[in-house]
Amino acid sequence: MTDLSAASSLDATRAGYLAMTRQKRMYSGLTLALFVIAMIMGFRIVEGRSAGGFLDGLPQVFDFPASLVTEAWEKRANLPGYLVEFFPALIETINIAAVSTLLGAGLGLLLSLLSTRGLAPFPRLIPVFRRIMDILRAFPEIVIALVLIFILGGGPVPAMIAIALHTAGALGKLFSEVSENVDLKPVEGLQSVGAGWWQRMLLGVIPQVAPNYLSYALMRFEINVRASAILGFVGAGGIGYELRNAMTFGTGRFDVSAAIFILLFLTIVFFDQISSYYRNKLVHGNQP
Amino acid sequence: MTATADFTAGTARDQAHALIGRKRRVALLVPAAILAYLVYVFFAFDVAGLAERARLDNARILVADSYSHKIHVTRDGRASDLAFAVEGETKGRYPEGMRPDWVEGGIDDAVIDLGDGHVIRFLPDRRVTYDLPGQGQIDINRVNDVIVASFPGFAPGDSPDWANVSDARVTITTEAGRLTVTRSKDEVFRYFFGWELFWFTLDSPYHNVGVWTLLTGPQLDPLRSNIIGAYQDFMGNQMWRHADVFWAIGETILMAFLGTFGGALIALPLAFLAAKNFAPLVWVRFAVRRVFDFVRGVDGLIWTIILSRAFGPGPLTGALAILVTDTGSFGKSFSEALENVDEKQVEGMKSTGANAVQRYRFGVIPQVTPVLLSQVLYYFESNTRSATIIGAITGGGIGLFITQAMQTQKDWEEVSYYIVLIVMMVMAMDSFSGWLRRKLIKG
């Protein structure tokens, strides 16, 4: 009797489990099918709205790199000269990234402290500062840069301001996520001895969050090096600007382009490695 | 005994002092170094010279144009009547019999009221006068095909700095508007607040009709119901090209979608080859990792340039550039996620006799899916922004629209419209991907 009911309840459980699995599988299968359809449809739409087709272009992907490499190899004697010639432009690109990271991190720090519960001096204004960060983050750098180029003329300053504003929004959000988990006891201790808001933040909060903040700022610096190269391409100075000049000169001066590609590649890899090394060190302490 | 205790306390104090002193020096040195660097950059970027190069008149045009519109009144030497047009464009021309209420009279007796006492008159023999409040009347005449302007309080041939006078052209810019007199025509425009013709152009029957009348009022166009007609006329608006702009926004999101998810699909199998615990062959692992590093290091900008040579301008190049760059980023982070996988589940699958594919499918994928999906969604959101930028370079989506509008240097109201749309798009993608992430991770 007991055996029978146990067996039937086991059967029911198994049937229920299988039904659930089937349903789950059906749902995930449906999602997957929808996803695949969306990918294929999207790809066809994009292909239809482009000048060249995907299959027509595919064999040509390596034509340009090949001719770039051949021409650069034929004129390889010029390469060291070009590397030296464009080094100042590279320094400008790195400077744009560094200054905008510094200024953006400063502004982001301020915004994050102003928008963290428990730390903000004006708690009622927290949503306002959050929205400001959202909006700063949503502005693509290129928009601000192009508007500022119209007003200030070409050069590194528009790019710097554009990247700094975006960085302030992006870092502000990451910073405030960190500072929300901050231990409030040191802050209260400082308040009890009569410290002002700035003193509480500088002495009570910053030492706790500095490693995380620095790690985020380093990551942002790495992103900003890329961004400042791209903005140079639309007229904001630095190595990107030189690259565009080299690319649009007649059919393109491939040896110059190759030199700039090499500089850009090495720079990006260099800062990528440096930043990930120090980030590891900051987050995991000094142990190897 | 007490001496040694004193001694150790003394050294501890000295050590503490030394430590604090060192920290204090570092605490002073870091801001000093940053300050020195900023000073260097101040000179390297020539910030001081910026004040000279800055075009504040450009800034004024930009700000004024971005929230207001101009209505032009034109007297053409060969036409028989005045012409009125929003922004001076053919698409914004007023239809026959319609005119702004601040213009009176015809081609030889027009009185144009610019507001605040500024009045311009078009008189016979193509004479033009401008009553400037507090200054008097400016008189512009044509003498032997040469334009002669006399300003009150200025000697003949002399002019104030807010006017630009030559034999062939006189331009007077005031806060109320602008008057331009050339050999062939006289033109006045006046600024008005808002984006004119944003909903419907002047030739649409729905122009200047309230929402309520549109929904409940009588049918305005005998051929179409109000809602369908309004939708068609709004989308087909020649001034603002809403249909094209919305397409472009969709195209930008599509570029980001294809690039991100395509990159993730390619990176996933490769990531297995780069993960320590799945790829037993060291050289395969090494090779795949270097490929990831290379693809990531060659920036999206360079990929865009290389791919645009093969696929031509358009969104396809942008999508592929995002795809290639992201394959590198995803490959790196996916392989890191795979290396942190819990081996117990894989062993459990193995013990039931599962083969390699089944082990991956049921032992590994369920563990890493939330991590990977959350990364992919995060990239999707940030790639909508990148797609705007890449679109500006390769010519696709809203990025193309905004650069084109900026290059004309006069359609700033369109630029601000696109900016609003881009910001809204990015914020929407941000909250959408955040919502999806929370939902997927919690299950």
Q: Are residues A35 and A137 in the same domain?
A: no
Q: Are residues A83 and A118 in the same domain?
A: yes
Cβ distance of A234 and B392 shorter than 8 Å: yes
B151's tokens: 């300003």
Domain with residue A176: its CATH number is 1.10.3720.10
Q: Which of residues 241-280 of A touch B (CB under 8 A)?
A: 243, 247, 261, 264-265, 268-269, 272
Confidence band for A55, pLDDT divided at 50, 70 and 90: confident
Q: What is the pLDDT of residue A288?
A: 43
Q: Are residues A137 and A242 in the same domain?
A: yes
The SS3 of residue B127 is: strand
Residue A61 lies in a domain: no
Q: Does B430 touch chain A (CB under 8 A)?
A: yes
Q: Which residues constitute the domain of residue A107?
A: 73-284
Q: In 3D, which of B238, B206, B202 has the Cα closest to residue B83?
A: B202
pTM exceeds 0.90 for this model: no
Q: Are residues A140 and A267 in the same domain?
A: yes
> Around B169, how many Cα atoms within 13 Å sit in the side-chain half-sphere?
4
Q: Are residues A228 and A128 in the same domain?
A: yes
Q: Are residues A110 and A44 in the same domain?
A: no
Residue A57 lies in a domain: no
More confident call, A257 vs B66: A257
B277's tokens: 């615990």
Over residues A112-128, the pLDDT tens digits come to 989 888 788 888 888 99
Q: Are residues A165 and A255 in the same domain?
A: yes
Look over chain B and give the mean of its residue pLDDT values, rounded to a whole number.
Answer: 82
Q: Does A98 touch chain B (CB under 8 A)?
A: yes
The SS3 of residue B188 is: strand
The answer, yes or no, to whether residue B443 has pLDDT greater than 60, is no
Over residues B204-260, the pLDDT tens digits come to 767 766 777 767 767 767 777 777 777 777 777 777 788 888 888 999 999 999 999
Phi, psi of B353 (to 5 degrees): 85, 20
Residue A60 lies in a domain: no
Q: Which of residues 56-75 of B touch A (CB under 8 A)?
A: 56, 58-59, 62
Q: How far is CA B88 from CA B11, B91, B93, B410, B412, in A?
A: 84, 9, 7, 11, 14
Residue A32 lies in a domain: yes
Residue numbers in A near B393 (CB within 8 A): 230, 233-234
Going across the sheet that includes B127-132, the strands are: B103-104, B110-115, B118-123, B127-132, B136-143, B146-150
Report the C-alpha dihedral over residues A144, A149, A152, A158, rounded to 10 degrees. Answer: 50
- What DSSP designation does B187 have? E
The DSSP secondary structure of B312-323, one letter per residue, reads -SSHHHHHHHHH
Q: Are residues A97 and A199 in the same domain?
A: yes
Cβ distance of B54 and A153 shorter than 8 Å: yes
User: Are the C-beta atoms of A136 and B432 separated by less than 8 Å?
Assistant: no
Q: Are residues A135 and A190 in the same domain?
A: yes
Number of independent structural domains in chain A: 2
Confidence band for A160, pLDDT divided at 50, 70 and 90: very high
CA of A36, closest CA in chain B: separation in Å? 10
Residue A261 lies in a domain: yes
Number of neighbouring beta carbons within 10 Å of residue B145: 8
Over residues A225-283, the pLDDT tens digits come to 988 988 888 777 888 888 888 887 656 678 888 888 888 888 888 888 888 888 888 77
Q: Are residues A41 and A80 in the same domain?
A: no
Q: In 3D, which of B148, B150, B149, B147 has the Cα closest to residue B183?
A: B147
User: Are the C-beta atoms of A108 and A172 separated by less than 8 Å?
Assistant: yes
Q: Are residues A138 and A244 in the same domain?
A: yes
Residue A59 lies in a domain: no
- Length of chain B equals 443
Confidence band for B3, pLDDT divided at 50, 70 and 90: low
Q: Are residues A133 and A243 in the same domain?
A: yes
Look over chain A and give the mean of its residue pLDDT values, rounded to a whole number.
Answer: 85
Which of A154-163, B34-43, B285-294, B402-411 shows the lowest per-residue confidence on average (mean pLDDT)? B402-411
The answer, yes or no, to whether residue B293 has pLDDT greater than 70, is yes
Q: How far is CA A278 from CA A141, A198, A215, B293, B358, in A?
A: 26, 28, 7, 18, 39
Say if the ipTM goes beyond 0.85. no
